[in-house]
Amino acid sequence: MILHTLLDYDTLRIIWWLLLGILLVGFAVTDGFDLGTGTLLPFVANTDLERRVVINAVGPVWEGNQVWLVLGGGAIFAAWPQLYAVSFSGFYLAMAAVLLALILRPVAFKYRSKRDSIAWRTTWDWALFVGGFVPALIFGVAMGNVLQGVPFRLAPDQQIFYEGGFFALLNPFAVLCGLVSVAMLVMHGAAWLVLKTDGLVASRARTWGMRAAIATVVLYAVAGVLLWGFVDGYRITSAVVTSGPSNPLFKTVDAGVAGSWFANYAAHPWTQLAPAAGIAGALLTLMALVRRREGVAMLTSSLSIAGIVLSVGASMFPFILPSSIQPQASLTVWDASSSHLTLFIMLVATFIFLPLILLYTSWVYKVLWGKVVPGDISGGTSHAY
């Protein structure tokens, strides 16, 4: 018996769809508070010492948190090659902007305190703001465009043709989704700062966190209403072959179906837990911040992020990237994956290395736990940024 046949092809596809969701949630929860903290930097810290406190609240962990971004990108490349090809070519300029913003972060961390100049340090502080705000916004804008459909088509030989432009991505619904992303990550970053700092920085972060929690609930609810009433979804109209070859052109798809992104919630009521967690998590974060429950706020903001991210996948299943100009070419869980053997080999590697990453990450957070206090930074005896 060939080892990889122990798991059916359709089962492996579902497993990798779930793993992709887990990796995206892992990135949003871990690196999300880094992005939120960078976005908050100009607003919660007034003095140079306060800004250094904020920077050092994420300084020891931000590099490790980006492992989840690498894992997510690698998983898309290996498990869903067509998804990788369409998204990274179609969103090329947007992805370039994200990468440039992310590149600014390590440079700003390393060079900000190299000169005792107000102008120099202020410039790098705003670079950290850009490095947090821009990726948070663009990731949300990308999700908004995915929900509406992306303008790509496939030739009979499955060659990909993308027919959109950068500024077309900045449509009203996508920008709203971007604002949802910014609000939830600012909420998450504020919860982290409340947990890791004290004094005026923590107080200001608490205020901004409460505002961001309210904004997350309102913007997410508005986006849901617009998705229901004004954004047409997609529906497979041919027989669904779950273990067939990876060729999207073997199916037929009906586009422009109002409210179809909510069909899974009616057919499988348990999927309603995802959007419920998105809203409830933000409301609980607001309550935790008001009551000064630092650890609870961090957990509930993580719950909100997980719910919001997973609600996109739950509503779209089995679609992972619909096409707005050739609905038949829409990529789904059943026709856009790598081969049976590739998925199995990757699954074995994931079961070996993902627990190691989780163990190491947990150990790092344990070692580096505790609040960042101004005395440790101003004393000059530490390796603080």
Say which amino acid occupies 273: L
| Separation between Cα atoms, residue 346 and residue 61, nearest integer Å | 27
Query: Given this model, what pLDDT does residue 382 score?
Result: 59
pLDDT tens-digit series, residues 364-379: 888 888 888 887 777 6
Q: DSSP 3-state assignment of 379?
A: coil
Q: At what angle do helices 340-367 and 9-44 cross, to 10 degrees?
A: 30
Q: How confident is the model at residue 311 (pLDDT cuts 50, 70, 90)?
A: very high
**Mean pLDDT calculated for residue range 217-241:** 93
DSSP 167: G
> CA 184, CA 195: separation in Å to the nearest integer?
17
* C-alpha to C-alpha distance for 385 and 62, rounded to whole angstroms: 13
Residue 227 pLDDT greater than 90, yes or no? yes
Split at pLDDT 50, 70, 90, the class of 361 is: confident
Angle between helices 340-367 and 67-79 (to 10 degrees): 180
- Helix ranges restricted to H, 67-171: 67-79, 81-90, 92-111, 118-148
pLDDT confidence of residue 1: 44
Rg of the chain's alpha carbons, rounded to an integer?
22
Q: Mean pLDDT score of the chain, rounded to an integer? A: 91
The pair of structure tokens assigned to 67 is 């492992």
Q: Tell me what pLDDT residue 314 has.
A: 95
Alpha-carbon distance 307 to 303, whole Å?
A: 6
Q: What span, in angstroms and rounded, lies between the C-alpha atoms of 290 and 167?
A: 40
Q: Check: CB of residue 265 under 8 Å from CB of residue 271.
A: yes
User: Rounded to whole angstroms, how far apart are CA atoms 315 and 283?
Assistant: 22
Q: Quote the pLDDT of residue 346.
A: 93
Buried b / exposed e along 250-283 (16+ C-beta atoms within 10 A) = ebebebeeeebbbebbeeeeebeebbebbbbbbe
Handedness of CA 86, 138, 25, 147 (dihedral sign): negative
**By C-alpha distance, which of 232, 237, 230, 231 is closest to 254?**
237
Contact 41, 105 (CB under 8 A): no
Cβ-based neighbour number of residue 329 at 10 Å: 23
**Mean per-residue pLDDT for 5-30?**
92
How many of the other CB atoms lie within 10 Å of CB of 293? 16
**Selection from 331, 284, 144 nearest residue 223 by Cα:** 144
pLDDT tens digits, 118-129 = 999 999 999 999
Distances (CA, A) of 295 to 195, 197, 200, 277: 7, 12, 18, 18
